[in-house]
A and B are shown apart, each in its own frame.
Chain A
Amino acid sequence: MKRELTCIICPRGCTLSVDTDVTPAVVTGNSCPKGETYGIEECTHPVRTVTAIMRVANREDTMVSVKTAAPIPKEHIFDCMAEINRTTVDAPVKIGQKVLTNVFGTDIIVTKKIL
């Protein structure tokens, strides 16, 4: 099968064509090696980085932004959100600090410093 897709790795948004009938799959239309990896992944096991917010329990009306340290399987985005939504943190927090571990194979880390 041949699939057309837009690469989401960078803003350039290359139009990729992925042929999955052959092994390994063949990607054309990419401008860089990352595009090739993306094309194959997207057709076999698509992944996404999830970014979200978490309530800072000890600060009024304050949210801290978080993200998955690595992309997770796309089908688990909402499960991942549910995990994040169940959690609060206490300030101070710093960028890169782990707030949840082993969520679909990665960690949830803080992306904003809260004093």
Chain B
Amino acid sequence: MYDVTIIGAGVVGGMLARELSKYRLSVCLLERGNDVACGASKANSGIVHGGYDPVPGTLKAKLNTVGVEKLFNTAEELHVPYRRNGSLVCAFSEAENETVQKLYNRGQENNIPNLKVLSGEEVRKIEPNLSESVTSALLVENAGIICPYELTIAAVGNAMDNGATLKTDFEVVGIEKNENGFVITSVDGETVESRFAVNCAGCYSDKIAQMIGDNSFEIIPRAGEYLLLDKNEGKRVSYTIFQVPTADGKGILVSPTVDGNLLTGPTALAVETPENNETTLDGLDTVRKLALKSVPSVDFRQVITGFSGVRSSEKNGDFIIEESKAAKGFVNVAAIDSPGLTCSAAIAEYVTELLESIGLDLTLNPDFDGRRENPHLFHTMTTEEKNEYIKAHPQYGRIICRCEGVSEGEIRDAIRRNPPAHDIDGVKRRTRSGMGRCQGGFCAPYVMKLLSEENNVPFETVTKSGKNAEMVVGRIEP
């Protein structure tokens, strides 16, 4: 019997697991995928939003305002790379100039520090590659960028290091409420019992809520397509460049990433199911066209990959974070679309307080250690330090991924360390091996070999992303 079970190991579930592991609680994190961060948390903009956008008085506004600093502090503790690069919301017409002014006013209402409205000339001075057509822009200094899946991996890993349990490939198909709490059943018939349950199931959170008879909300899955460009293009802009928002979302952005690439996107397309994460010709064309509207010099020949992420929206437009009216002790954390990543640390605290208010006893865990070993330590060293480090850990000397300079040692660590990587994509998200310009062309066979060795399984069973995603179809045998 766990104290709390969290359904969904995305960034919200992961950050909540870490927050709860600060207390003397037994926590279980359930994930239907074979890795953490395999829904919206692996495929979004990675933006820490300044907080000018949410409607004042909403939960989004409240959590965004306090969430930015909390997120950066957590990232610091977990050694997750982030950058406070600021953002610019650009207008392209008189009418849009007014929207920029409105956003400024809204930001003031939301208590966002250091907002400024700049003229076209002023903004091009600080961001020279911006289009000549930009007529004004809102400068948001406290905004930033972070890697969303790395944050999730680090948060879950740290929660596990502090005693939380992670069960992957656990697709919840039934939740039963009894006098002690909940019995949660997986598609494979495994059960987990806990006193409290928190629904962080992203695009599937309405389906999960329905399992305890809660039909109070419906998730609208919305796909966003992106194009990621080579590091050669990474310095095209230094701020995150938005266009003034429309009803469909925050529009197409052009932004550096923490890893030094350039990210463009997303589109916003309502899709039938969260499984609809294919990219489309039209979608990718839209990304190109609108990105060039903001920054005409982006060189799209430098694209290294395209992807699509499905976000969980809801008709009222605000986060849903409350105890379900259908079952005491069951908390919905749903409709966490933008600025969900920004708010994730604040949401984790908010939910923890909510759980306390409905009877969860919070006693501090004196053994909690909120720090995580820096997986990028080697890359921060001087040549002299690297030399010493390799002498002590020779596997760090052997580079496996030449594009991103990832060593055998780092890959083996990623397979061993919490939460362990099970497959090629898992290694990729943890180490960046295969994330570079050749997209795994050279390193994939070597990474497969390391996965097979570390997990002591036959090479041919290694997958890209879990069951049925085998990389090869068999050994060539006489």
Contact = CB atoms under 8 A, between A and B. Distances in A.
A55 B478 contact: yes
A5 interface: no
A10 to B, nearest CB: 29
Contact of B476 (A63, A86, A87): A63
Given A55-B477, A63-B476, 10 more contacts: A53-B476, A55-B476, A55-B478, A61-B449, A61-B459, A85-B476, A85-B478, A86-B478, A87-B478, A88-B478
B472 to A, nearest CB: 11
Interface in B204-223: none
Nearest to A53: B476
B473 to A, nearest CB: 16
A76 B477 CA distance: 21
Interface residues of A, number: 8
Contacts of B476: 53, 55, 63, 85
A76 B478 CA distance: 19
Contacts of B477: 55
Nearest to B459: A61
Interface string B448-470: 01000000000100000000000
A101 B303 CA distance: 51
Interface of A: 53, 55, 61, 63, 85-88
12 contacts: A53-B476, A55-B476, A55-B477, A55-B478, A61-B449, A61-B459, A63-B476, A85-B476, A85-B478, A86-B478, A87-B478, A88-B478
Contacts of A86: 478
Contacts of B449: 61
Interface centre among B449, B459, B476, B477 (most CB of A within 10 A): B476
A7 B477 CA distance: 35
Contacts of A85: 476, 478
Contacts of B478: 55, 85-88
A88 B449 CA distance: 22
B414 to A, nearest CB: 22
Nearest to B452: A61
A94 to B, nearest CB: 21
B456 to A, nearest CB: 13
A13 to B, nearest CB: 28
A61 B449 CA distance: 9
Contacts of A55: 476-478
A69 B477 CA distance: 23
A63 B459 CA distance: 15
Nearest to A85: B478
A87 B449 CA distance: 25
A63 B478 CA distance: 12
A86 B477 CA distance: 8
B471 to A, nearest CB: 14
B447 to A, nearest CB: 14
B476 to A, nearest CB: 7
Contacts of A53: 476
A95 B325 CA distance: 76
Contacts of A88: 478
A85 B478 CA distance: 5
A53 B476 CA distance: 9
Nearest to B449: A61
Nearest to A55: B478
A87 B478 CA distance: 6
Contacts of A63: 476
A65 to B, nearest CB: 13
Interface string B230-271: 000000000000000000000000000000000000000000
Query: Nearest 8 CB-CB pairs, A to B?
Result: A88-B478, A86-B478, A85-B478, A87-B478, A55-B478, A61-B459, A55-B476, A55-B477
Contacts of A61: 449, 459
A90 B368 CA distance: 55
Interface string B164-189: 00000000000000000000000000
A71 to B, nearest CB: 24
A88 B477 CA distance: 9
B446 to A, nearest CB: 11
B407 to A, nearest CB: 21
B461 to A, nearest CB: 14
A61 B477 CA distance: 11
